[in-house]
Amino acid sequence: MNEKILFTVNGKKVAVNADPDTPLLYVLRNNLGLKGTKFGCGDGLCGACSVILDGRAIFSCDTPVWSVEEKYVQTIEGISSDSVPHPLQTALIEEQAGQCGYCLAGIVVRIKALYDESPNASREEIFAALERNLCRCGTQPRILRAIEKYASATGARA
């Protein structure tokens, strides 16, 4: 049975009619047209579906939409501003960190959440934050180089 669920996505208040147990990922992609958040495994194991919920990175594929009622969700589409890439996205592009790029949306939001909470995150904290984000192309060294470049450019310690 569908219910009206209210929450904020990327600064915009939304109301969706959905079964409360529908995964947030499906609501973002199918109801709201936000296709940047990817379906990977559907079990909260790969990180492709990562979004920020009230400042904390979560897996949207195993988060029921009822649990985001009256909360703030930020997707990859909400990371950049006015079509200008976020500095982390710029660093990833400059380092050619993505091969297929499927994992990068989840990685970007997870690292943004980390640096929002801990601007001087250590290398070990970066590794811990990304532990459950898979990159099947094997570009992790380039991804880490880009994160370090971003941290250096913003004055943070990586």
**Cβ atoms < 10 Å from Cβ of 43:** 9
Report the number of distinct structural domains present in the chain. Answer: 2
Residue 100 lies in a domain: yes
Whether the pLDDT of residue 76 is over 70: the answer is: yes
Give domain status of residue 158, yes or no. no
* CA distances (Å), origin 10, targets 53, 77, 101, 144: 10, 7, 22, 26
Predicted confidence (pLDDT) per residue in 9-51, tens digit: 999 999 999 999 999 999 999 999 999 999 999 999 999 999 9
Q: Which stretches of 27-144 are assigned E, i.e. beta strand?
A: 50-53, 56-59, 72-74
Q: Are 8 and 70 in the same domain?
A: yes
Residues 7 and 53 in one domain: yes
Distance CA 16, CA 109 (A): 23
pLDDT at 158: 44
Express each pLDDT in 83-108 by its tens digit: 889 999 999 999 999 888 899 999 99
Is residue 103 situated within a structural domain? yes
Q: Is residue 94 within 8 Å of 149, Cβ to Cβ?
A: yes
Q: Which domain holds residue 20?
A: 3-78
Average pLDDT, the chain: 93
Whether 157 shows a pLDDT value over 60: the answer reads: no
